[in-house]
Amino acid sequence: MTLAEPTYPDDLRYHDQHDWARIEGEVATFGITWYAQDSLGEVVFYDPPEAGSTVEKDATYAEVESVKAVSDVIAPLSGEIVEVNEALADAPEKINEDPYGDGWLVKVRLTDPGEAEQLLGAADYVALLG
Amino acid sequence: MAQLSNTLPRVAEPGLRRTPLYEQHADLGARLVPFAGWEMPVQYEGIREEHAAVRTHAGMFDVSHMGEVEVEGPGALAFLQRVLSNDVAKVEVGGAQYSCLCNEDGGVLDDLFLYRLGGDRYLIVTNSANHGADLAWLGRWSRQLGDVAVRDVADRYAMLAVQGPHARDTVTRTLGIELPPRMRVATARIGNRPALICGTGYTGEDGVELLIDPEIAPAIWAELLDAGVVPCGLGARDTLRLEVCFHLHGNDLTPDRNPIEAGLGWCCTEGTGFVGADAVARARREGTAETLVPFTIEGAGIPRQGNPVLAGGEEAGSVTSGTFSPSLEVGIGIAYVRTDLAEPGTAVEIDVRGKRRPARIASKPLYQPKG
């Protein structure tokens, strides 16, 4: 049902609140980490932000909910949302099944790409999880 | 992500108690969380799968954290009639009955099941969070009324709830015992030790609750597991009970609410003169400002405890339990609302963290078990 083993791809940058960013030029894709989806349990609802709205690094931009709990999702970087993952409305479980692929949350045009230097590499993020 | 702290697996906190099945939960990879002073499994494989297992097959819950109190003596009936809201005189030997434990103001201190084990011998099963306070309350009234002994026997039992359409046949086949019908209790030997089998549960499905010797609990758990009974945590227990609108004390019932506004007038017989009967009779006669009702969200959104209920844009109540219903695949909950809004079909809104979610007051149960 979900990725059984903890997975943290090397090509991503990580925020210590368990969010990831895949930076491709001026645009980055955001999502939540394996640890985040595992802690939350089966996601049953994703409340996406609107395309065109702005997100600010370290601030909440969306909510994901499991049966048991709701969690705010924190933006790892600042920018303008250019695309939201509409498929999650009908299939929020993709966040559990494929947190770094089909379970992506938003795509953001970065306003300050330099912020990425404050994010963690995979090894440092894994160390943080202990 | 943020606010994950309430869902994270934790290391044992000092002072947390463990049930006799702790090792079994850990071996199964359960996520263990603090609950009412106990370290309890909230889920194993996942709440939705566990929920579905109980609705379609058979699941088992370790509810050993629940408390047991034995009441015995020639004054037992008079004592229970005084402290419990229901008419205890109607309970035959081998019978079971649901009741409220009220304070003098009619506030609900706890809700519980009473089982009559013998002529003047009864067993009460308490909610774990209230067990100590219930004992103190019962002890005080027993000393005042006399001719009755109230004993804490919580350490004498492990408690396993086996629930679902196939629960009974699986338990019968696996443990080789006869089961009492619904709302009855029987003594038996399980694992060659004395045990109680109760035809009760908290899921809306048929099934039994087994009160067994803590020493043999791991072996019984293993036998049922081998027989295909799915281990279920407190997460599924909550979604299952909410779909059938069973109350959770501490959420939906509190000492500040009386049984009438909580929709539990059916288990109150004020003529018996129980503690709080005058206040309950007044609430029944005069009506209450608010009433506890189930509701269903229409569309997206999952209600949670504490969300305001809105009617015509004005605050008109508060959600006491809310979740995502795995059976209905929609947000459901129960809430105290202004009594004029309590009619099933009434449209309201639930303020879910600043977003107004349309909802409709429903009738009980929200989900009808198929049996």
Of B7, B235, B323, which has the smallest distance from its Cβ to A39's Cβ? B7
Write out residues in chain B with pLDDT < 50, as ranges: 1-11
- Phi/psi region, residue B284 (left: phi>0; alpha: psi -120 to 50; beta: rest), is alpha
- B37 neighbors B78 (Cβ within 8 angstroms): no
Which overall architecture, per CATH, does domain B290-361 show? Beta Barrel (2.40)
* Contacting residues for B103 by C-beta, under 8 A, at least 6 apart: B109, B255, B275, B276
Is the C-alpha dihedral spanning B20, B26, B27, B30 positive or negative? positive
Neighbouring-strand partners of residue B216? none
Domains of chain A: 13-125 (2.40.50.100)
Of A17, A67, A69, which has the smallest distance from its Cβ to B239's Cβ? A67
H or E segment and range at residue B70: strand B67-72
Q: C-alpha angle with apex B251: B246 to B255, nearest 5 degrees? A: 105
pLDDT band at A1 (very low <50, low <70, confident <90, very high): very low
Q: How far apart are CA B60 and CA A18, in angstroms?
A: 33
What's the pLDDT score for residue A16? 96
Is the domain covering B67-155 a CATH 3.30.70.1400 domain?
A: yes
Measured between CB atoms, does A40 come within 8 Å of chain B? yes
Other C-beta atoms within 10 Å of A72: how many? 16
- B162 neighbors B58 (Cβ within 8 angstroms): yes
What would the pLDDT profile of A48-103 be if each residue is shown by its tens digit? Answer: 999 999 999 999 999 999 998 899 999 999 999 999 999 999 999 999 999 999 99
What would the pLDDT profile of B252-296 be if each residue is shown by its tens digit? Answer: 999 999 999 999 999 999 999 999 999 999 999 999 999 999 999
**Following CA atoms B336, B337, B339, B342 in sequence, which dihedral angle do they give, to the nearest 10 degrees?**
-100
What would the pLDDT profile of A17-28 be if each residue is shown by its tens digit? Answer: 999 999 999 999
The domain spans of chain B are 22-64+157-243, 67-155, 290-361
Q: How far is A94 from chain B (nearest CA, A)?
A: 15
Q: How far apart are CA B22 and CA B202, in angstroms?
A: 21
What's the pLDDT score for residue B15? 87
Neighbouring-strand partners of residue B100? B111
H or E segment and range at residue A30: strand A27-32
What's the pLDDT score for residue B371? 63
What would the pLDDT profile of B167-187 be if each residue is shown by its tens digit? Answer: 999 999 999 999 999 999 999
Is the domain covering B22-64+157-243 a CATH 3.40.50.1970 domain?
A: no
Contact: B304, A47; criterion CB under 8 Å: no
Measured between CB atoms, does A71 come within 8 Å of chain B? yes
> The pTM is what?
0.93
